[in-house]
Amino acid sequence: MNINELAPLVLRRRGNMGVRAAAKEIGISPTTLTRIEKGHVPDVGTLNKLSEWLGEEPSKFTGVGDLQIAFKNKKAVPQATALALAELITQASRQFEEEVEARGH
């Protein structure tokens, strides 16, 4: 799954439920829900609420493991770039941990 599959999944889950009722159930505004259903990419907090409502892990839509990354205004980087960035962050974190352990802190 990727972030482009969010809108159809939300629409399918909402079904015949009204926008206001669904938004209230999710914990977001009706305007935000409408934008998402039109394909706009939510912020991280909204993605978390939507994911919970859908019964999915947020990482299924970001494609970056446990990192929760969402891009607004469809300014997303290609999935390969996001994965490369995630790997870079993971490696930097490991190196930092090793340096801290080596110093005995």
Q: pLDDT of 54-105, one tens digit each?
A: 999 887 877 655 554 555 555 556 767 777 887 888 888 888 887 777 777 5
pLDDT at 1 over 70: no
Helix 19-26 vs helix 30-37: angle between axes, to the nearest 10 degrees? 100
Closest by Cα among 105, 13, 17 to 52: 13
Tokens of 16: 């015949």
- Supply the angle between the helices 44-54 and 6-14 in degrees, to the nearest 10: 50
50 near 26, Cβ under 8 Å?
yes
Q: Which two tokens stand for residue 88?
A: 């870079």
